[in-house]
C-alpha cells in the first residue's frame, strides 16, 4: 500500500498538466477526433467530455453536469456490480475496465450513457485505451484481482461494432500496468521493468520495439509527441519523436 500513495498523488498532478496540454494542437493524434476536453491515463477513475464529468467507483458509473464548474450536478448513476477499475472515453463511447471484463457504454447522450456490451475475460485488472477500431487491454498476473494462474498479457479487441466486441490478438507481457497509444506506437508501462514501446502499424499485431529500463512507469498519457509518465518517484514529462527517441523534459517529484 505504501507504493500506491505516490501514484495517486502523481495522478492528481497529471490532471493539472493535462488541462494545459489538451489546449494544444494535437499533431495528427487520432484522439483529436474525440470531443473530450480532458484526458487521463488508462488507469484513471474519472474523465471529462464537453460539460460532463464521469467518475467510476468500485461499483458504479456516476455522471455529473459540470456546465457550471462551481456547482456540479449529478445527472445519473449507473450501477455496474463490483470490481470497476478504470474509464477511457473515445468518440461516442466510454470504455470501462473492470476485474471481469470491459464495459462499453454508448455516450451519444452524454448525461445518460447506455450500456452497449460487455467483453468478458478471466478475472484481472485491466486498463484500456482505444484508437480507431481497436481497444488495447493489459492483463497483469500476480495481483489480488487476478485469481487464476495465468500470464500477463496485452489483448487487442476489435470494437468496430461496440455492441459485439471480439478478441483478435493476445501476446505475453512482463508486468503491464497502464498504457497509451498514438499513431503507430503503443506504449505499455511495465512498472520497475520500464516503458515498453510497440509498433502498431498493423493495429491487430503489436510488434515489440524496445523496453526502456531506465524509465520505470505505471501509467502514461500520450499527447502531441509528449509522454506524461507516472513513475515511482514522481511525474515525468518526455518528448517522443518518430525515430523513438525519448528526451527528458521535466519532473514533478513525489516526496
> Could you tell me the pTM of the whole model?
0.84
Helix (H, G, I), strand (E, B) or coil at 205: coil
Distance between CA 169 and CA 167 in Å, rounded?
Answer: 6
pLDDT of residue 59: 95
CATH number for position 214: 2.130.10.10
**Overall number of domains in the chain:** 1
DSSP string, 109-159: STTS-EEEEEEE-SS----EEEETTEEEEEE-SSSTT--S----EEEEEE-
- Computed on alpha carbons and rounded to an integer, the radius of gyration of the chain in Å comes to 17
Instruction: Please give the pLDDT value at position 224.
Output: 82
For residue 163, give its domain range: 4-253
Q: Contact, 151 vs 172, CB < 8 A? A: yes
Residue 167 CA: distances (Å) to CA of 121, 135, 173, 193: 10, 9, 17, 27
Residue 252 to residue 230: CA distance in whole angstroms: 10
Task: Output the tens digit of pLDDT for each of the chain's 255 residues.
Answer: 344 444 444 454 444 444 434 444 444 445 444 555 556 788 899 999 999 999 999 999 999 999 998 999 999 999 998 889 999 999 999 999 988 889 999 999 999 999 999 998 655 667 999 999 999 999 887 655 545 546 789 999 999 999 999 999 999 999 999 999 999 999 999 999 999 999 999 999 999 999 999 999 999 999 888 999 998 889 999 999 988 899 999 999 986
Question: Closest Cα to residue 86, out of 124, 142, 36, 134?
Answer: 124
pLDDT at position 26: 45
According to the model, what pLDDT value does residue 31 have? 44
Whether the CB-CB separation of 114 and 106 falls below 8 Å is answered with yes
Amino acid at each position: 500500500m505504501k507504493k500506491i500513495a505516490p501514484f495517486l498523488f502523481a495522478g492528481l498532478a497529471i490532471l493539472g498538466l493535462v488541462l494545459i496540454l489538451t489546449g494544444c494542437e494535437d499533431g495528427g493524434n487520432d484522439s483529436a477526433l474525440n470531443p473530450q476536453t480532458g484526458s487521463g491515463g488508462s488507469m484513471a477513475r474519472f474523465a471529462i467530455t464537453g460539460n460532463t464529468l464521469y467518475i467510476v467507483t468500485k461499483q458504479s458509473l456516476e455522471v455529473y453536469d459540470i456546465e457550471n464548474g462551481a456547482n456540479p450536478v449529478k445527472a445519473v448513476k449507473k450501477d455496474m456490480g463490483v470490481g470497476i477499475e478504470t474509464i477511457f472515453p473515445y468518440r461516442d463511447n466510454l470504455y470501462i475496465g473492470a476485474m471481469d471484463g470491459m464495459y462499453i457504454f454508448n455516450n451519444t447522450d452524454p448525461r445518460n450513457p447506455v450500456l452497449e456490451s460487455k467483453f468478458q475475460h478471466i478475472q484481472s485488472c485491466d486498463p484500456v485505451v482505444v484508437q480507431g477500431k481497436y481497444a488495447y487491454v493489459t492483463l497483469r498476473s500476480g495481483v489480488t484481482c487476478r485469481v487464476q494462474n495465468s500470464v500477463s498479457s496485452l489483448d487487442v479487441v476489435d470494437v468496430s461494432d461496440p455492441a459485439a466486441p471480439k478478441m483478435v490478438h493476445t501476446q505475453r507481457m512482463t508486468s503491464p500496468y497502464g498504457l497509451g497509444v498514438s499513431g503507430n506506437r503503443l506504449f505499455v508501462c511495465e512498472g520497475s521493468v520500464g516503458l515498453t514501446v510497440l509498433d502498431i502499424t498493423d493495429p491487430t499485431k503489436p510488434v515489440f520495439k524496445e523496453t526502456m529500463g531506465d524509465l520505470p512507469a505505471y501509467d502514461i498519457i500520450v499527447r502531441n509527441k509528449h509522454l506524461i509518465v507516472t513513475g515511482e518517484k514522481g511525474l515525468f514529462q518526455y518528448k517522443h519523436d518518430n525515430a523513438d527517441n525519448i528526451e527528458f523534459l521535466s519532473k514533478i517529484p513525489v516526496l
